[in-house]
């Protein structure tokens, strides 16, 4: 099983459920605070989590600046996106996960299963979208 460095927003409901899902599959999870990590000192390392995903998919769609229309991810290039994320970590899609030198952003269950393995049954809930969005309650990204 894998040892996962798991960058999360502490208190995020889905990040808690994602960690539990990983642990149920036998993985160990080392949580780190995505919001206080020194990404400014390593912008290239932050970029590595997004792989070949389109820039717009690098963003946390629940972030207040995106919901308010202040940031429009589809209009940004990679350099602009990273600069915004360094200044405003709430914009970063969660979780960021690292196993050895491999990195991944977001929690698409099928992708995670193919990457490191999950238990057979998919989680009945959406583990990527903020559950508070469905109830018009803000978790502030």
Burial of 97 (0-12, 13-18, 19+ CB in 10 A): buried
Q: Where are the domains of the chain?
A: 3-135
Instruction: Tell me what the mean pLDDT of segment 94-103 comes to.
Output: 97
Number of residues in the chain: 141
pLDDT digits (tens, 9 = 90+) for 66-77: 999 999 999 999
Selection from 34, 53, 47, 65 nearest residue 141 by Cα: 65
Place of tokens 């899609």: 93
Show which residues are catalytic: 12
Checking if the pLDDT of 56 tops 80, the result is: yes
Which range has the worst mean pLDDT, 30-39, 66-75, 131-140? 131-140
Q: Is domain 3-135 classified as CATH 3.20.20.10? A: no
Checking if the pLDDT of 126 tops 80, the result is: no
């Amino acid at each position: 099983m894998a040892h996962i460095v798991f960058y999360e927003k502490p208190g995020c409901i889905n990040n808690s459920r994602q960690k539990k899902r990983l642990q149920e599959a036998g993985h160990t999870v080392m949580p780190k605070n995505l919001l206080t990590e020194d990404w400014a000192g390593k912008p290239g390392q932050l970029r590595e989590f997004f792989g070949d995903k389109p820039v717009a998919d690098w963003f946390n769609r629940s972030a207040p600046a995106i919901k308010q229309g202040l940031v429009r991810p589809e209009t940004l290039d990679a350099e602009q996106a990273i600069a915004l994320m360094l200044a405003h970590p709430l914009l970063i899609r969660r979780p960021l996960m690292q196993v050895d030198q491999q990195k991944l952003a977001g929690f698409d269950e099928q992708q995670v299963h193919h990457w490191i393995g999950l238990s057979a049954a998919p989680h009945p809930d959406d583990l990527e979208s903020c559950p508070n969005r469905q109830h018009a309650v803000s978790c502030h990204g």
